[in-house]
Amino acid sequence: MDMIAQGKERVKWASKFMPVLGEIEERFDEDNIFEGKKIGLCLHITPETAYLVEILVKSGADVMLTAANPISSQPDIIEYLKNKLNVKVLGFRGMSDEDYKKAVEKLIDWGPDYVLDDGADLVIAAHKKGCTSLKGATEETATGYYRLLKYEDENMLNIPVIATSFSFCHNLFDNKHGTSQSVIDGIIRATNSMLSGKTIVVIGYGQCGSTFAKKVKGLGANVVICETSPQKALEAVFEGFSVKKMNEASKIGDIFCTFSGNINVIRKEHFLNMKDNAIVCNAGHFDVEIDLKGLEEITENSERVREFVREYTLINKNRINLLTEGRIVNMTAAEGHPAAVMDISFSLQLLSLELFLQDDGTMEPGLYEVPEYIDESIANLKLMSFGVEIDDYTKEQLHYLENNEMMLV
């Protein structure tokens, strides 16, 4: 099968698991709501993103796309987008940092009306280049939100940006269930390990780590949590986990997975405590959580023993199996989030983009969260796709709740 046909087939497959986007597609299609608008995207070039692009193109947009990450771009999807949808694709697999920067700049020079960003590079480039065409942006990641918060604090943000990563639906699908499932997938694809009976050390019991911990416990693993926050550690204890300092946990773990968003949470002294053949990986966004320099310093020999696995023989003769060079394991050894997760993330972005059109340029510059009613409508559409119906308040209940509120005031 040629690349274009393969790309098309994979986009079709992904779209089957994106029913909320499908509903939005039908509505947008009828209204042609992006007619004449130039929309720039900086996203992972995957089948799910291609489905989002299909919807934008079908509803009238002129689209330019660059990659959010040099290793996540999928060549068959790029071919499909370029040849079948006539989309300008600037990203490619294996692009260098320099290529990436040039692509971001080229996209801004093109003069987009709106951008869908992932990490805030497009919005920041637009500000640095004095782009005047841009009327609004959506931001997918918390990292991007915090970068833009600095701009806002310094009164430098001159467009409205809707950050989608704090909405209830995004949190539930992406941070909690999408990440935890795909991290398990990444570990299994990289190692083919059985998780039952293993001791898995989870470093960071936040949104992602706590859901991962519960899922691997369900698969029969003994789970040990390491935390720095007393509240999170207490939550882990109340949820039935053993909580230990990393110094102790490092002596008993078979598999270690970092979810802290912090630097060097697994260090030299921990590697030297580990059992022979321990497996170590990172699920955090940046490859800073495992101290690779420290690991090299205590290594006698290292070799690639399997795709995605490098074995380090330490000075104490124990072997450590490091997955995906310490990079984000679910995006590298597995396929990242399942389509069902991106269904929610992209629906939030599309409905936020629609807000800019409805608002007709009157939204003040600044950072916004997704309005509650959009989050609620997406949850409703997802429930409908599962065939789940829920109750409405009765008039009496509404009256009771409103009355109670008044009493509180």
Ligand X SMILES: NC(=O)c1ccc[n+]([C@@H]2O[C@H](COP(=O)([O-])OP(=O)(O)OC[C@H]3O[C@@H](n4cnc5c(N)ncnc54)[C@H](O)[C@@H]3O)[C@@H](O)[C@H]2O)c1
Residues near ligand X (CB under 6 A): 175, 179, 203-209, 226-229, 232, 259-262, 265, 283-285, 328, 330
**228/403 with CB nearer ligand X:** 228
**105/117 with CB nearer ligand X:** 117
**10/176 with CB nearer ligand X:** 176
CB of 226 to ligand X, least distance (A): 5
CB of 211 to ligand X, least distance (A): 9
CB of 275 to ligand X, least distance (A): 20
Q: To which residue do tokens 């398990």 refer?
A: 184
Max CA distance (Å), the chain:
73
DSSP state for residue 68 in the 8-state scheme: S
CB of 238 to ligand X, least distance (A): 14
CB of 233 to ligand X, least distance (A): 8
**63/333 with CB nearer ligand X:** 333
**Closest residue by beta carbon to ligand X:** 206
User: Which residues, in sequence order, are bridge partners of residue 162?
Assistant: 138, 368
* 294 token code pair: 């420290």
What DSSP string runs through 93-162?
TT--HHHHHHHHHHHHHT--SEEEESSSHHHHHHHHTT--S--EEEE--HHHHHHHHHHHHTT---SEEE
d(CA 319, CA 11): 41
d(CA 370, CA 166): 8
**263/315 with CB nearer ligand X:** 263
**28/346 with CB nearer ligand X:** 346
**89/236 with CB nearer ligand X:** 236
**DSSP three-state, residue 253:** coil
Q: Identify whether the C-beta of residue 59 lies closer than 8 Å to the C-beta of residue 28.
A: yes
Nearest to 45, CA basis, from 98, 105, 2, 85: 85
CB of 404 to ligand X, least distance (A): 32
* 396 token code pair: 């009496």
CB of 261 to ligand X, least distance (A): 3
User: Which residues, in sequence order, are bridge partners of residue 290?
Assistant: 266
CB of 282 to ligand X, least distance (A): 9
Nearest to 287, CA basis, from 312, 263, 315: 263
Nearest to 174, CA basis, from 369, 346, 406: 346
**227/254 with CB nearer ligand X:** 227
CB of 339 to ligand X, least distance (A): 14
What is the identity of the amino acid at 150? Answer: K
**10/170 with CB nearer ligand X:** 170
Task: Write the burial class of residue 402 (CB in 10 Å: 0-12 exposed, 13-18 middle, 19+ buried).
Answer: exposed
* 307 token code pair: 């795709």
* 295 token code pair: 């690991």
